Amino acid sequence: MKIGFGLAVVACGVLALTTGAAAQDKGQKNQTLTVDVTLPATFGSTRLSSGFTPDPYRVDIYSGGTIDATTVANGCVGMVARAPDFELTYSAGSLPLIFGVTSDADTTLVINGPNGRWYCDDDSGDGTNPLMRIPNPPSGVYDVYVGAYGGNSGSSQLYITELESNLLGRSGSSSNNNTSSSGVLDPFAAANYGRVELRAGFTPDPYQVNMRAGGSTDAQNVSSNCRGFVSRAPDVELSYTAGSLPLVLSVDSASDTTLVVNGPDGRWYCDDDGGNGSLNPALRFNNPQTGTYDIWVGTYSSGASQPARLDISELYSN
């Protein structure tokens, strides 16, 4: 827990908004406004319209910088870069616009929205991660800075969503009551066995990840169709660029294992015994989407984790 920070709290708190004029007043006290929203964003830009898919939209970035965010606007904290980390051009609809960060480092959010308004948050997300919900977002450009609290920069992931079911804040649960809500699983947590980037036609095929299956979380907390016990964080995060081939995820283990996958469309996909061998799971996406697949490998029964291997293939046929 940090002391004395300014919050724009999501869901259960108050969103702190500072107008461009207020930011200018703050800048006058310090003689200069040290960030520059006119610079090209370091980690790229995108255009999204309300209802975009896949949701969430994710961007890998590196948090932090040399500028104290308290010089930007009241309520902002952390050390940020001079140029924005990411720039979003957004066409609003009836849904909220939500920004969050996942990182092992202590991060903050500083965003300059349309009409020069500043949005800031420190710890409204999971752990020491920020989370910012704009209930009635205006259309326009959002320049996003991901700060480092105390200057401790690190690898991070910015996510942009319109769906409450994608959120895990301090309450530890989603505010959406759908049966397929994120529940106690966190698709945004760092994967236990790392991140994999594959494009259609990848070699070697299958791509294999050795791991230990299982965890303390009942997969039925995600959906009544899911089985097994998994960890809260994904085991593997797959960033996949689709082509004309199917995508098949399967598990090889001497134990009774299960699969739980959160796809690029935000939907949950689960299997128990659909693979080769009576106790191995497999999921086949005949027309896979490009995007992020968060993958959990579970054990059917609670207890100790078990050795397992995840196979990612475009050639496997069940």
Phi, psi for residue 147 in degrees, rounded to 5: -95, 165
> What long-range pairs does 68-72 form, CB within 8 A, spacing at least 24?
68/34, 69/108, 69/110, 69/120, 69/145, 69/147, 71/26, 71/27, 71/30, 71/33, 71/34, 72/23, 72/26, 72/27, 72/33, 72/34, 72/35, 72/110, 72/118
> How would residue 77 be classed by pLDDT, with cut points 50, 70 and 90?
very high
Over its C-alpha atoms, the chain yields an Rg (Å, rounded) of 21
299/160 same-domain check: no
Residues 131-171 pLDDT 10s: 888 888 999 999 999 999 987 788 899 999 987 656 544 33
Task: Annotate 143-168 with b (16+ C-beta within 10 A) or e (fewer).
Answer: bbbbbbbeebbeebbbbbbbbbbbbb
- Is 134 a domain residue? yes
Distance CA 282, CA 258 (A): 8
* Alpha-carbon span 296 to 215, nearest angstrom: 10
- Please report whether residue 179 resides in a domain: no
The type of residue at 99 is F
**Same domain, yes or no, for 45 and 106?**
yes
- In tens, the pLDDT along 175-206 reads 322 223 334 677 777 788 888 999 999 999 99
CATH number, domain with residue 23? 2.60.120.380
> Do the domain assignments include residue 26?
yes
Q: Please indicate, yes or no, if residue 155 is contained in any of the structural domains.
A: yes
Q: Which of these, 290, 215, 216, 205, lies nearest to 250 by C-alpha position?
A: 205
Q: Using CA atoms, how far apart are residues 71 and 139, in angstroms rounded to an integer? A: 26
In this structure, are 22 and 157 located in the same domain? yes
Look up residue 137 and give its DSSP letter: P
Residues 151 and 52 in one domain: yes
Question: Percent of the chain beyond pLDDT 70?
Answer: 81
Question: Per the domain annotation, does 103 fall within a domain?
Answer: yes
What is the pLDDT, as a whole number, of residue 177?
Answer: 27
The reply to whether 154 and 92 lie within a common domain is yes
Contact 206, 311 (CB under 8 A): yes
The structure tokens listed for 151 are: 């200057």
Alpha-helical segments (H) within 30-141: none
Q: Are residues 119 and 255 in the same domain?
A: no
Residue 106 placed within a domain? yes
Domain boundary, last residue among 149, 166, 183:
166
Q: Using CB atoms within 10 A of its CB, is residue 289 exposed (0-12), middle (13-18) or buried (19+)? A: middle
Cis peptide before 138 (omega within 30 of 0): no
Please indicate, yes or no, whether residues 158 and 227 belong to a single structural domain of this protein: no
Tens digit of each residue's pLDDT (9 = 90 or more) over 11-42: 333 344 444 444 444 434 334 568 999 999 99
Whether 138 and 205 share a structural domain: no
Is residue 112 within 8 A of residue 102, CB to CB? The reply is no
Residue from 32, 21, 36 nearest 74 by CA? 21
Last residue of a domain, one of 150, 166, 182: 166
- 161 and 225 share one domain: no
Rounded CA separation 291/271 (Å): 20
pLDDT at 31: 42
Res. 300 pLDDT band, cuts 50 70 90: very high
Are residues 242 and 156 located together in one domain of the fold?
no
Q: Are residues 68 and 118 located together in one domain of the fold?
A: yes
293 in a structural domain: yes
Which residue segment(s) compose the domain that 294 sits in? 195-313
Q: Summarize pLDDT for 228-270 with one digit per residue, the tens.
A: 999 888 999 999 999 999 999 999 999 999 999 989 888 889 9
Neighbouring-strand partners of residue 144: 86, 111
| Domain-located, residue 188 | no
Model pTM score: 0.53
Q: Which residue has the tokens 């769906």?
A: 163
34 and 146 co-located in one domain: yes
Question: Contact 43/165 with Cβ under 8 angstroms?
Answer: no
Split into its structural domains, the chain has a count of 2
